[in-house]
Amino acid sequence: MDKKEPTIDRVFQALGDSTRRAILEKLSDGPVSVSRLAEPFGITLAAVVQHVQVLEEAGLVQTQKLGRVRTCRIDSAGLQVAAQWIADRRTVWEKKLDLLGDLLAEPDEPADEPEWLG
Amino acid sequence: MDKKEPTIDRVFQALGDSTRRAILEKLSDGPVSVSRLAEPFGITLAAVVQHVQVLEEAGLVQTQKLGRVRTCRIDSAGLQVAAQWIADRRTVWEKKLDLLGDLLAEPDEPADEPEWLG
DNA sequence: AATATAGTCAAGCAATTACTTGAGTCTTTG
DNA sequence: CAAAGACTCAAGTAATTGCTTGACTATATT
C-alpha cells in the first residue's frame, strides 16, 4: 500500500541482479506486460513479478494495471538516485580532474588517464 | 589468489550495502588501515575485513599490506564500471535529452525536466 | 455460461549474505 | 624474548534472497 521511496540501498540492490538488469534492458524498447516480460527468461511468471516489484520499489520501473494486464515501463527516478550518488562520490574522490565526469558526459574524448588513479 | 574483475554484478551488489558505502565514504579522506576503518562501526574487525574483500573484488578499493597493517584506499575502477553502465542505459532510455548526462557532468545547469520522464 | 488468460498471494526451500566467535599467524614493541 | 597489536582463517548462525509450487481472483474470449 505504501509506495516506498527509491533509496540508494534499494536502487543499488535492485541493479545488483542480472535478471533485473535484463528486465530493464527489455523495457528500454518500450512498455511491456508482465507476461511478455517473462517470456525470454527461464523462470516463472511469479518470479518475474517479484523482480518487477523490487524494481518498482527502487523507482526503476513504473507499472499500471488495465483490465487484467499490468504494463511495465522504465522510471528514471531510480537511476537518477544512483547517478547522483556516483556523481557525489566522484566530486569527493577526484576533485581536481573531471575524468569520470568526462566519461559519463562524453564517452567520445578519452582524456588520457593519470596512472595514479588506478 | 585470483584477482577477479569488477563486473557490473559485483559493483552494484557491493554498493547495495550501507556499511560498505560508509567504508567508501571514510576512505574518501585518504588511505586508512583496516582496524582504523573498523572503529566507527559497531561490528567486529573480521566483519569489516569481509566487507573490504567484497569492495576489493568489485574494484572499489585497493589494499596493500606493509608489515602487519593492511592499508585500504579508493579504487576508481569499480565506480567507472557502474558509471559506464548507467551512462549506457541513459543513452538508450533518454536518447533525445541530456538530462541525466547534465546531472552527472554539470550539476549546475538544471535544464528544465520534461514531465513525461517521471 | 464455460474456458482460457493474466496476474496475485502465500508458503516453502536452497543458496547467499552479514555477521559472530575463537583460534592461529605474523610483526612490532617493551 | 615475551607480550601486545593487526590481522587472518574457519566454522557457525540468523536473516534475506531468488526461486518454485499450488491455489485463488479477476478479466477476456468463444
Q: What whole-number percentage of chain A has pLDDT above 70?
A: 75
Condensed to tens digits (0 to 9), the pLDDT of residues B85-109 reads 999 998 888 763 345 455 555 544 4
Query: Which residues of chain A does B28 touch, with a Cβ-Cβ cutoff of 8 Å?
Result: 89, 92-93
Asked whether residue A109 carries a pLDDT value surpassing 60, the answer given is no
Touching check for A90 and chain B: CB below 8 Å? yes
A-B contacts at Cβ under 8 angstroms: 106
3-state secondary structure of A70: strand
**In the structure, how far is the CA atom of residue A18 from the C1' atom of nucleotide D30, in angstroms?**
41
Number of H helices, E strands in chain B: 6, 3
Query: Which residues of chain B does A12 touch, with a Cβ-Cβ cutoff of 8 Å?
Result: 12-13, 15-16
Task: Give the relative orientation of helices B18-27 and B8-15 as an angle to the nearest 10 degrees.
Answer: 90
Domains and CATH numbers, chain A: 1-105 (1.10.10.10)
3-state secondary structure of A98: coil
* DSSP label of B31: -
Interface test with A, best of B60, B98, B100 (most A CBs within 10 A): B100
CA proximity to B47, closest of B22, B29, B65, B30 = B22
Condensed to tens digits (0 to 9), the pLDDT of residues A6-36 reads 899 999 999 999 999 999 999 998 999 999 9
